[in-house]
Structure 1
Amino acid sequence: MCLVTLLITVGLLALPFPASRAAPQPGGPTRTSSERLELKRYVAAGDRAYAIGAQSGGFPPMGWHIRGEMGGVWAHPIKLLDGYWFSLNRTWLTAAAEFTAGAGYVQFRFPAVDQIEVTRTEFSPDGSAIVLVGLTLHNSDSRPRVARLTMVARSEVMAAYPWGWSQPQDAKEFNGKDSGDFDPVSHTLLFTEPGKPWYAVIGSTPQPRTGMVSDDIWGPIEPAERDDYLEYGNGTGGSLRWIVPLQAGEETTLWIGIAGSHRSEAEARDALAGGLADPEGLLHEKVEERLALLAQTRVSLPDPALQAAFDWAKLNLADLRRTATDLQIRNVDEGRAYPDPVGTLPEVSGIGAGYPDYPWFFGTDGAYTAYALLVSGQWETAKAHLRTIRDASRALNGDTGKVIHELVTDGSIYFGAVDDPGNTNETAQFANAVALVWLWTGDDAFRDEMYDFVKDGLTYVTSTLDQDSDLWPEGNGMVERPGMGSEKLDVAVYTWQALKGLQRMAMSKGDTETAAWAAERIASIESAFDAAWWMPTESLYADSLCNPGDEVPPEEREANGWTNVCVEAGQQLQQRHWINATPMETVAAPVERAHDALDRLESDIFTGDSGLFHTGIGGGPAEQGELRVWTLPNSVMAVAEANYGRLGDEQALFYMRAIAGTLDLEMPGALPEILPSPEYDPFVDFRERAMFMQAWSAYGIQWPVIHHFLGIRPDVPAGHLYVVPQVPESWPGLSVEALKVGSDEVSASAARQDGQYTTTVCAPDGWTLTIGYTLPAGASPTSVTLDGTPASYEVVPTSRGNEVRVETTTGPCRTLVVTTG
C-alpha cells in the first residue's frame, strides 16, 4: 500500500493565546494512584462517548472483542480514535506521575518539562458524542517560558460490530482504510471511513498553529509496536501543534475536543462546537450531577472499605450509562452471520455491562444491576435498560417474550434468539427486575407497559422451554460451560422467583387468571424442588439435571477428558459451579438446607482468599475446577448469606469485603469484573484482561446494606414500608439518608449495644410501616417500645431469624427499641 502524506500549515507565528486560565478544579471526591500506572486502565466516560487508555497517559492496544481495539475514543456505535498523545518541547507525556479519578472526570499529573508542569483533565459531557481533554500548563520558573505543544492522534473509525472472529467479515475486513484531512479554516482534524457517514473530528480552543495528516504519524509508538494497532485496525495519523508563551508563574489551559458521528460530518462538528464553547462549564455541570447522585442514598457504615465501595459504585453505574441511536436489529448468530436487519430502534438507553469489552447492553447483567440501580436512586437508568432489552427482544423474537442476551450498540444481537439454547435465566431475571422496579417506584404505568412482555416470556419459559413438563425449563443459564445437564439450577430458581413477581403484578392489575396460573406453578415448584434437586451426600443442590439425550458417550468423554458428566437420564449432576448459591440468593431453599449448603460453599473447596470460585476445586466436567473469582458470584453469595441471617465476618461480610477490596485494583474507584485469584492475574496483556469496571459488582455491596442490614423493603403499590434491620455482630450500627422510595425520600438507622436494638425510620406521612429488628439466635425480647411507649409486637420466624415487628404508620420519625434478656 502506498503511504500518502498530507501536510498543511497555517501561518508562521503563534496564534493569539487567551489570558491566563487556571487548571480545572472540578471538586468532589477523588481517588489517586501513583504506582504501576502503565499497567492500569482508566475510562473518562459519558453516556454518548468515552476514552479508555492507560493511567500513564498512553493508549496501548486493549480488549479482545476486537483485539487491541476496545480502548481509545468511542462514540457508539462507532470508534473514533485508537488514542492521542502529547509532547511538550519534544518530550512525550507518556509517563504520568499520578492519576486521579474524580466524580465524572479523570486527571493526570506529569513530571515537569523545562519547569513547565502539565495536568491533563478528561471528561465526556453526558448527552454529547465528545470527549474533552484539558491540558493545563503551569510555568513554575521565575522567568518566561515557551511551551511547544504537539498532539498526535491515531484514527480508527470503525463499527462496534463485527468483532475479531466474526463472519462473513471480521472487523478489519468490514471497516475500510481511514482517510484524514486538516482543515485550515476551522483548524481541525477530520477522519472518516470512505463510503460511510462515519466521522471523527478534533479541534481545540485556542486553535492550533499547524496541523497535518499522514499514515506515518505515530507519535511515541515505536515501529515494533505498530502492528499491534493494525491487527484489526485501518487507521491513519494526524497531529496538531500549538506555541504557548508563559510568563513567570503563569498557568493556562488548552481544551481539545474529540467528537464523532455515525450520521454526518455536520453532526460531529456540532458536537465539537458545543463542547468547546464552554468546556469548564460542562465540567462543572457534570461534577454537580455526580455530586447530586452521591447525595442520594447516603449511607454511614463503620467499615471504611465498604463505605467507599458503596459510594463509588454509584459513580461506576453512572459512568456505565449508555445511549445509542439508529440500531439495526439483526441476529448475528454468535458471529456466524450478518443478515439484513429485522427492525430498527431509533434510540436506546441503559447500562453498559463493563469497560472496555462490554460497553453495550445485556439481559442478565441489567437484571443483576437493577438491584443496585434501585437502591442508589438511579431508577430511570434501570427503566430505560429494561425497555431497551424488551424492544430489541420483541424485534428479534416476536411475541415469544424471550429475552435476548447481548445487544451491541449498532443493533447486532450476538446471542439470545429463539433458536439459541439460552440463556433461559435471562427471561426470568428480566421479569423479576420489572417487578422489583415496580415495588420500589410504584410506577403502575411502567408495570403496565412491561406486563405483556413479562407474561409472554414466562409463558414461553414454562411451556416451550420446559419440553418434558417437569417444572424445570431447559436451556443455558449463567454458567456458560459445556458438560452440564439440560436443566440448570439457576434457571429453576430464577423462574420460581419471576413467577412470584408476575403473580403480584397480575393481582394488582386484576388479572386473576394469570395470578392463579402463576400461583399454581409456584406451589408446584415449591413442592417438587427439594426432592428433584437436593443431594444429601453433597449438602448441596445439584447444579444441573440430566434429561434424556444429555448422556455423553464414552468416546466423547474420553476425548474431552470428562469424568463428571451426564451418563443417564434423571441424574443429578454436581459440578461445583457457583450457581450452587442461587437457591439461597432467591430464598428458594428451606432454612435447614440453606445453612447446610452455605456452610459447604464457605469451605476451601468453593471459597478462596478472594471469594467464591467460579467452579470449585475438583469441579467441572473434567474435575479440574476453575479457580477464578468473579464479583458476581461473590455478590450472589453475599446476598445468599444475608438472606439467612449470616452476616458474620466469614459470611456475608467476607464476600462483600472481597469485592470492596478491589476498589483501587486497577482504576481508582472502579469495581472490576474478576478479582485476583489462583487462575486470574489482573495485570496480564491488556488484550486478555477482564473488565476493570463492571456494573453488576455494585449488587453485592449496595443491596445487602440496604435490603438486609437496614432491612428496607418497600411495597410502594401497597403504600407499605417495611424496615426490619439486622446489624452484623461486629458493627455497632449503620444508617441511610435520602433513600428514594416511591415519590418520597426515607431515612433509617439501626444500632445494637448490650442486648438493646434500636431502629429509627424517618419518612413523610402516609405510609403504613412495619418497623422492627431481627434478633440474634437465641435472643428473646423483654421489652419493646415505640417512641418511648410500650408497643404491641409480634415475633415472626423468617429465613433471617426471629423478627420483632410492630405495625404503625410513618411521620415524621419513629424509633423502636427492642431490649432482650
Structure 2
Amino acid sequence: MSEYKSIVNNNRYYSLYVTAGEKCKTIGAQDGTFPDFGHHMKNEMGGIWIHPIKIADGFYLGIDNKFYKAVEYETLPYGSLFRYEPVNGIAIQRFQFSPDEAKGVYVRYTFKNNDDNPKSLKVCFITRFDIMPVWLSENAGIFDFEDNAVYDGENQIVIAKDSGHDWYGVLGSDFEISSSQVEISKEHIEPYRSSGKGVSASISLELTLEPKGNKELTFIIAGSPYGKEDALKEFRALKENRDEYYFNKLIRYHNIRNAARLETSDQEFDHIFEWVKYNIDWLIQDCEGYGRGLTAGMPEYPWWFGCDNSYSTQGLLALGSFDLAKQTLLLLKNYSEKHNGNGRIVHEVTTNGVIANPGNSQETSHFIMAVYNYLRWTGDIETTKELYDYCKKGISWLLNEMDEDRDLLPSGYGIIEIQGLNVELIDTAVYTCKALYCMHEMSRVFGEESIEYLKLGEKLKEIINTRLWDDKYGLFVDAVGTTAQVIERIDALLNDEHHKTYISPEYRDYLSELKQHCQAMPRDEELPFIINKNWVINTPMETHLADHDKALTALDNMKSDEFVGEYGIYLSGFMKQSMMTISTGVQAVAEARNGRCGESLALLKRICKTYGLVLPGSISEMSPDYGCFVQAWTVYGMAVSVVECFAGFKPQAYDKKLVIEPCIPYEWDKMNLQHIRIGDSFVDFSFTRNGKNEVYVISSTGNIDIQFNVNEADRILVNGEEACCEIHLGLGTSVIEVLRN
C-alpha cells in the first residue's frame, strides 16, 4: 500500500488526524498531543470516541519526567505513526490503530537504543479519561457526570466510569503491571490539561535497553457505553487478538485498494483517488443499537446526514461498497420513518439517535435519487422495495405539503443552509424532477408502473428549462419566490454582519436594482430570481436535465473566474469566498455528464491541489485547508466522474445490463479501472489512446449483458472483426479498436 509522509509543523497547532476503526475513533494533533478543540461540543470533539460516548481526552508518554512532541507524523491507511526526537540516544516511535471488530485503540511505543551502551528510561503513560455523551444528548435527557476510576488488580487494568451512567473506559497493557505502578487522580497529571469532568490514570515502569537493543510497549484503551461487562469483554478481546486484528486491518485496506482500482497517465491523480477510498473507510461509524453507516466528516460531523449521504452513497456504489451504501440508506430511512413518518428524510442524526434537524426539502428528493442509484448498481430488489415504500411517501410530501401553490416547485430549505433562503429553490426543483423519473423507473421494476411520475417529471423538466432559466445571464436561477420574499432576503443579506464583508460594490448595486424591480411589482407576485449565484445552479447540468444548449451555455459561464477559484467552485458566484469539495465535485460531474470530461478533470485536479494540506493523505471539506480534515462527500465528485462518466459505466443491474459509453479526458492516453462491481458481476476496463485511435479491453465475469457505445469512428473492430457503433459483449474479454482517419 502507498504511504504518505509529512513533517509536522509545530506552529500549526490544530493540524489534526484520526486513527479510525468502525467502533473507535482517536482524534488528536499531528504532534502527538491532544489539544482541546470543538465547535459542536466546545473543547470536546477530540480524544478517543466509542460512539455514542467519548472515553478519553487523550494520552501522553512521559520519559524521565519530561514530555515530548512528535517531530514527524505519517498517515497510514490503517493507522497513525509518530516519530520523536531521540532521547538520550534512544529513537522513539509511536504507532496506533483501531481494529474494526472491537471498541478500542492500540498504542504501541518502540524504543531503539542506537548506542553501544545499555540505557534505562523511566516511562509514564498517562490517560485522561473523560467519559461523556455525544452532542445534543441533553435533548434526550442524557447529561455528563463526574468520572471516577479504580485499579482492578485481578485484570491488571484501570477501570473508569461516568458516575451517572453505566459507561466505562479501560486502560491496560500487553505487559504485567501492579498497583504500585498505577496512579489515579481527579486532578490532571502534568503536563497537559483538558476540559471536562474526567479522571487521570497513569502506568509507570522502568525500561532497560541493551546496546543496539529494541523494546516495545503496547497500551490498550477500550470502553463501552453498554456496561462494565461489555467494556471488560472488549478489553480482553483486544488484548488476546491483537495480531489477528492487525492482519485483518491490512487485508481490509488491501481489498479497498483493489476495488475500483485506477491507473492512468497521471500517477498523482491515481494516488489521490486511492486515498479517497481510504478516507471513506475512516468515516464508517458502527454504533451497536443505533446503526452502522457512513458519517459526514471528522472532527465536527462524526454522525449521519441525509444530504451528505445522498451524495456519498453514489460514490460508494461506483466503488463497489454495496453493503455500506445499503446500511447507510436503511439507517436514514429508519430514523426518518421513526421521527417524521411522512416521507421526509432527516438532515442530521447523532450517534445516539437524536435528530438535530428533521430535514430540508431537497434531502427527500435527493434520497430518492440515491435509492434508485442503489438499485441500478446492485440489483437488490428486496432492499430497494423496502426503501421505495418510504420514497412514495416522500414524493407525496414534496408535491403536497411542501408545494402549497401546486406549481411543482416544493418550498423549504435546500443544500445551501442560509437563514431565510427557504423558498422554491433550484436544487430542490431539480432533484424533485430527477426523483420523479427515479420513482417511475422503480415503480416499473416493482410491477406497479406509475405513468403519473413520468408525466410530472416531464412537466417539471420543462419548468426548469423555461421558468428557471435566465437568458440575460445564461444561468439557471437560484430560486422562485414572491417579490416580498425576495425583498426580505435582500435586506437580510445587506444587514447580515457576516455577509457584509463579502458584498462588493457591484454586488450591492445588483441587489439594489433587483430590490427596486421587486418594489415595482405586487408583493404576492412570484418571480424567478438570482440573488446569490449559489453553486447549486449547476444541478440541472449535474442531473443532465438541462436542455443541451442551455447546459453548454451555463457551463461555459460557470467556467469564468466569477465562479472558479484556485481550488474549485465558489459557494457563491457573487461573494467569491468559500469553496468546498462538494461544490467543485458536483460541477465536475455536471461537466462530465455533458460530454466535457477534460473540463471535469481540470476541476477534480483543483480539488487534488488541496490533498494533504491539513492531514497527510486526506482532502479537507473546505478548500483548501479548513473545515473537517476528512469529508465523505468528496467521494461523489471523484468516483462518479471517473467511473460513471470517464469510463462511462451506466449500470442497470436489476435488468442485468450495463452500458459503457466512455469519455476519457484527452489529457490521459491510458486508463485502467479494475474490479468494478455491477450486481453480482465484475468488470475490468482498459483504455489506451494512440493519436486519434483508441483501444478498449473489457473483461467481465458473471451474467451481465454489456452494450458498448462508440461515437464518431471510421472503423470499429471487435476482437479483430468489423463491428458497428453499438456493440454487445458477453462473458469474458473483448478487445475493441476504434479507428479514426
User: TM exceeds 0.5?
Assistant: yes
CA contact (8 A) 2:90 2:113 kept: yes
Query: Normalised by the size of structure 1, how large is the TM-score?
Result: 0.84
Q: Which of residues 82, 90, 114 in structure 1 aligns to 2:88?
A: 114
Further displaced range: 740-749 or 279-288: 279-288
Further displaced range: 32-41 or 697-706: 32-41
SS in 2 for 1:550: helix
Within 1, Cα distance between the matches of 2:703 and 2:46? 50
SS in 1 for 2:533: coil
Corresponding residue for 1:635? 585
Corresponding residue for 1:64? 39
Matches within 5 A, 1:216-227: 216-221=187-192, 226=193
Matches within 5 A, 1:347-746: 347-398=290-341, 400-416=342-358, 422-484=359-421, 486-512=423-449, 515-547=450-482, 550-552=485-487, 559-560=495-496, 563=511, 567=518, 568=523, 569-574=525-530, 575-616=532-573, 619=574, 625=575, 627-648=577-598, 651-676=599-624, 682=625, 690-746=627-683
Within 2, Cα distance between the matches of 1:547 and 1:193? 53
SS in 1 for 2:73: strand
Corresponding residue for 1:802? none
Within 2, Cα distance between the matches of 1:85 and 1:762? 52
Within 2, Cα distance between the matches of 1:203 and 1:59? 20
SS in 1 for 2:597: coil
Shift of 1:32: 0.9
Shift of 1:278: 3.1
Within 2, Cα distance between the matches of 1:238 and 1:177? 15
Within 2, Cα distance between the matches of 1:207 and 1:690? 42
Supply the AA of the counterpart residue of 1:124: S
Q: Which of residues 183, 186, 189 in structure 2 aligns to 1:215?
A: 186
Supply the AA of the counterpart residue of 1:520: K
Further displaced range: 195-204 or 36-45: 36-45
Supply the AA of the counterpart residue of 2:335: A
Q: Which of residues 169, 182, 205 in structure 1 aligns to 2:151?
A: 182
CA contact (8 A) 1:41 1:54 kept: yes
Q: Which of residues 76, 80, 94 in structure 1 aligns to 2:51?
A: 76
* Structure 1: unaligned runs, 5 residues or longer: 1-27, 326-345, 417-421, 620-624, 677-681, 683-688, 775-779, 794-805
User: Are residues 380 and 593 of structure 1, via their aligned partners in 2, closer, same or farther at CA, if it must alter by over 3 Å?
Assistant: same
CA contact (8 A) 2:414 2:422 kept: no
Shift of 1:97: 2.2
CA contact (8 A) 2:706 2:728 kept: yes
Corresponding residue for 2:132? 158
Shift of 1:217: 2.5
Shift of 1:542: 0.5
Within 1, Cα distance between the matches of 2:732 and 2:223? 51
Further displaced range: 626-635 or 758-767: 758-767
For residues 260-283 of structure 1, what are the alpha-carbon distances to aligned partners after superposition, in whole Å with 9 as ceiling and x for unaligned? 111211111111111111323311
Shift of 1:733: 2.2
For residues 68-109 of structure 1, what are the alpha-carbon distances to aligned partners after superposition, in whole Å with 9 as ceiling and x for unaligned? 111100000000111111112223132x12211112111111
Corresponding residue for 2:170? 201
Shift of 1:211: 1.0
Within 1, Cα distance between the matches of 2:214 and 2:302? 36
User: Are residues 538 and 548 of structure 1, via their aligned partners in 2, closer, same or farther at CA, if it must alter by over 3 Å?
Assistant: closer
CA contact (8 A) 1:768 1:807 kept: no
Q: Which of residues 23, 29, 35 in structure 1 aligns to 2:8?
A: 35
CA contact (8 A) 2:160 2:169 kept: yes
Matches within 5 A, 1:256-295: 256-295=219-258
Number of aligned residues: 715
For residues 127-173 of structure 1, what are the alpha-carbon distances to aligned partners after superposition, in whole Å with 9 as ceiling and x for unaligned? 3111111111222221222232111122211100237xx7799x9xx
Residue 728 of structure 2 is aligned to residue 808 of structure 1: yes
For residues 219-255 of structure 1, what are the alpha-carbon distances to aligned partners after superposition, in whole Å with 9 as ceiling and x for unaligned? 322xxxx4xx32xx22222211122222222222211
Within 2, Cα distance between the matches of 1:552 and 1:538? 20
Within 2, Cα distance between the matches of 1:188 and 1:132? 14
Within 2, Cα distance between the matches of 1:614 and 1:517? 35
SS in 2 for 1:752: strand
Query: Normalised by the size of structure 2, how large is the TM-score?
Result: 0.93
Within 1, Cα distance between the matches of 2:96 and 2:263? 30
Supply the AA of the counterpart residue of 1:635: G
Within 1, Cα distance between the matches of 2:241 and 2:702? 44
User: Are residues 636 and 135 of structure 1, via their aligned partners in 2, closer, same or farther at CA, if it must alter by over 3 Å?
Assistant: same
Corresponding residue for 2:71? 97
Within 2, Cα distance between the matches of 1:584 and 1:660? 22
Further displaced range: 811-820 or 46-55: 811-820
Within 1, Cα distance between the matches of 2:588 and 2:493? 35
Corresponding residue for 2:117? 143
Shift of 1:653: 1.6
CA contact (8 A) 2:260 2:673 kept: yes
SS in 1 for 2:694: strand
* Structure 2: unaligned runs, 5 residues or longer: 501-507
Shift of 1:559: 4.7
User: Are residues 772 and 558 of structure 1, via their aligned partners in 2, closer, same or farther at CA, if it must alter by over 3 Å?
Assistant: closer
User: Are residues 302 and 254 of structure 1, via their aligned partners in 2, closer, same or farther at CA, if it must alter by over 3 Å?
Assistant: same
Residue 672 of structure 2 is aligned to residue 752 of structure 1: no
CA contact (8 A) 1:187 1:211 kept: no
SS in 1 for 2:633: helix
Moved segments of 4+, more than 4 Å: 166-169, 553-562, 564-568
Let me know the Cα RMSD of the aligned residues. Answer: 2.0
Corresponding residue for 1:334? none
Residue 272 of structure 2 is aligned to residue 297 of structure 1: no
Further displaced range: 60-69 or 748-757: 748-757
Shift of 1:713: 1.3
For residues 2-21 of structure 1, what are the alpha-carbon distances to aligned partners after superposition, in whole Å with 9 as ceiling and x for unaligned? xxxxxxxxxxxxxxxxxxxx
Within 2, Cα distance between the matches of 1:445 and 1:626? 46
For residues 320-341 of structure 1, what are the alpha-carbon distances to aligned partners after superposition, in whole Å with 9 as ceiling and x for unaligned? 111113xxxxxxxxxxxxxxxx
Supply the AA of the counterpart residue of 1:532: R
CA contact (8 A) 1:503 1:518 kept: yes
For residues 296-333 of structure 1, what are the alpha-carbon distances to aligned partners after superposition, in whole Å with 9 as ceiling and x for unaligned? 111112112221121111111111111113xxxxxxxx
Supply the AA of the counterpart residue of 1:200: G
Residue 740 of structure 2 is aligned to residue 769 of structure 1: no
Supply the AA of the counterpart residue of 2:701: P
Corresponding residue for 2:738? 818
Within 1, Cα distance between the matches of 2:128 and 2:740? 68
CA contact (8 A) 2:36 2:43 kept: yes
CA contact (8 A) 1:765 1:810 kept: no
Supply the AA of the counterpart residue of 1:277: E
CA contact (8 A) 2:253 2:278 kept: yes
Shift of 1:768: 2.1
CA contact (8 A) 2:136 2:356 kept: no
Further displaced range: 482-491 or 708-717: 482-491
Within 2, Cα distance between the matches of 1:62 and 1:536? 48
